[in-house]
Structure 1
Amino acid sequence: MNFKQLTAFREVMLTGSISEAARILHRSQPAVSAQISSLENDIGIKLFQRKGARVVPNPEAHYLFDEATGILARLETVKRTLESISDLDTGVLRIVSIPGPSIFILPNLIADFTAKRPSIQTILASGSSVRVQRAIATQEYDVGLADFGFGIADESRLIDHEVIQFTALCALPMDDSLAQKEFVHATDLRGQPMAVTERNHPIHNQIRASFDEAGVPLNIRFEVQSFLPMFTFVERRLAYGIVDPFTAESYQQSNPDDQCIVFRPFLPKVDIPITLMSPAHRPLSIVAQAFYETLASHTREIRSKWSGEHI
């Protein structure tokens, strides 16, 4: 029993005629007759009585008609669903990210991606870089965004990493005298209170090494788990911050008309690797792959913006 047989059978039942069924199906009359005969041979039951140009269904045919109609309806539903998926109209996105991008950048990107695709369901979670890596390794999520360098799962064979390099920025009040400079050097911050990431964050040691290279003591006043909370201290003139471009972009998106902070490249250079992740042993769905590519492209745009534009 196959799809063509059931389709021919259904049309014969509906029309009561081999020739009319053939016309509707755009097949020849002998082809439809052959499909009916083949179906009868497969199931071992005579389905129709031939009476001139008409065919009369036997009782067994009515039972099969109900079953065939249900099967064909389900197949049509499957077909439409798969077509919707291939057209990026249906599916589920499971995204996990470090806190900064999950507040403004990712929601905006997801909103743009799904605006004309109302049947796409999205799950967005946030956590530490370690948690993000573990969530991707265990295949709980499809796409992950995190800092690279914690060592927990950086080399895991369970994760496909795409590492994109950023460089750190100095966050400072808009009317600060250092805002007039093209870049901010560690020597410009001698004795100044600083807001930096906590000591177990891989960027912390790089910031400390940068100040050491410049021969300047690092005066830490605020130590935070992620970059975003630093902006409160900077806005209130309690400290300068060393942040990543993703966080700077988040600030600009969250305060488009009322920005109190500007960002300048920081020297000596502090590298900040960001990793885009997906499960290594489970192919992404068409929808998830499309979003991954969108996110990767947007991430490179942010890198290009902040490497060549001072705001």
Structure 2
Amino acid sequence: MRIRYIEIFHAVMQCGTVKGAADLLHITQPAATRLLQQAEAHVGVPLFQRVRGRLLPTAEAHQLFPEVEQLYLHLDAVRRVATNLGRTSEAMLRVLCVPGLALEALPQALGRWSRQHAKARISLRTLHSRQIAESLALREADVGFAFEPSSHPALLSEVLAHARLVCVGTGLDSSVAIEALATHPVVDLDPADPLGRLLHSACLAHEVQPDARVLAHSYHAAIELAAHGFGWALVDSITAGYASRHPALSVQPLVPEIPVTVYWLRPRDLPSSAAADALVAQMRRVLAGAASPAP
């Protein structure tokens, strides 16, 4: 029995007239009459008797109605779920992000995203890249943003944006050669950190021993330390936008170029939601405008 036949039968059982059923279904009365006739032809027996302008259910209709009522309730539940998916009124988007992207890039993306998802709720946690992968593998979140991919078989990793390592400091008016890190104080990065590994690998390849006065475990802290005279901060060109808070600081590329890649991750066996996909798209736009270091 087709869904439209179920709808007209249920509506007539509720209203007792074709006009009432038509109003309930937001269709014209002639359309409701034709639909009811088609439903009865499909069943093969009359479902209603026409008595003084009203439709009285036949014995067959009374036998059919309990089953239709159950099916109709399930159909109504499907409609409500579909409506909520579109409105995301009850949705909770669980987001994980590395600290370097959580202070500026992600809030900008969420600000744009929320204009189309005003009723959606957000859970945001800041973790390091490996912690993000572990949490996603346990299905504790829907999407994560990190500076390295994950090889975990339960996760999917996709490139979101490309950036590069830059120098942030005072008195910088041109690109900085990696060899200069040996003769000028720098704020070093943890070798276990994704960017720290890139930096230390490049220094090793060029036989450079950085003049590290401070070891920072936060990119934004490294920039603050640079602003207070502890040396050049070595961060990605996206996080380097934070340096604009300090007029004395400038941002210059580190040469040769050390590429930095931003990834978005999600559980492999969970379908991505429209809300998560929209946030990834907004992050892509924000990062595209933030990845290039200032000239």
TM-score (norm 1): 0.75
Structure 1 residues 299 and 25, CA, compared in 2 at 3 Å: closer, same or farther? Answer: farther
Conservation of the 8 A alpha-carbon contact between 2:108 and 2:286: no
From 146, 151, 154, the counterpart of 1:155: 151
Q: CA deviation at 1:148?
A: 1.5
Note closer, same or farther for the CA distance 1:251–1:9 as it changes in structure 2 (3 Å cut). farther
Q: Deviations over 1:20-40 (max 9, x none)?
A: 746736526354134257669
Aligned residue number for residue 37 of structure 2: 33
> How far off its partner does 1:233 sit?
0.9
Secondary structure of the residue aligned to 2:153 is coil
Contact residue 5 and residue 39 of structure 1 kept, 8 A: no
Distance 1:21 1:280, change over 3 A: closer
**Percent identity over paired residues:** 20
Cα gap change, 1:208/1:50 in structure 2, threshold over 3 Å: closer, same or farther? Answer: closer
Where 1:27 maps in the other structure, the secondary structure is helix
Could you tell me how far 1:91 is from its partner in structure 2? 3.9
Q: Does structure 1 conserve the Cα–Cα contact (< 8 Å) formed by 2:112 and 2:282? A: no
SS for the counterpart of 1:148 is: coil
Q: How many residues align?
A: 290
Is the Cα contact below 8 Å between 1:48 and 1:55 reproduced in 2? Answer: yes
Shift in Å, 1:99:
1.0
Check if 1:184 corresponds to 2:176.
yes
1:161-200 deviation line (CA, Å, top 9, x unaligned): 223442100010xxx33x2x22122344444322121122
Query: TM-score, normalized by length of structure 2?
Result: 0.79
Structure 2 counterpart SS, 1:8: helix
Counterparts of 1:16-31 in structure 2 under 5 Å? 16-18=16-18, 21=21, 24=28, 27=31, 29=33, 31=35
| RMSD after superposition | 3.6
Q: Aligned ranges for residues 213-292 of structure 1 at < 5 Å? A: 216-252=208-244, 255=245, 259-292=247-280
Q: Distance in 1 between matches of 2:194 and 2:38?
A: 72
Say whether 1:82 aligns with 2:74.
Answer: no
The aligned residue for residue 102 of structure 1 is 102
Letter paired with 1:157: P
Distance 1:64-1:211 versus aligned 2 partners, 3 A rule: same
Matched, 1:196 2:192: no
Deviation, 1:241, is: 0.8
| CA separation of 1:296 and 1:278: change in aligned 2, threshold 3 A | farther
Q: Quote the Cα distance in structure 2 between the aligned partners of 1:89 and 1:259.
A: 42
Quote the Cα distance in structure 1 between the aligned partners of 2:256 and 2:69.
72
Q: Which residue of 2 aligns with 1:130?
A: 130
Q: CA contact under 8 A between 2:162 and 2:260: conserved in structure 1?
A: yes
Q: Is the 8 A contact 1:210 1:269 kept in 2?
A: no
**CA distance change for structure 1 residues 183 and 156 in 2, over 3 Å: closer, same or farther?**
same
Q: 2:289: which partner in 1? A: 301
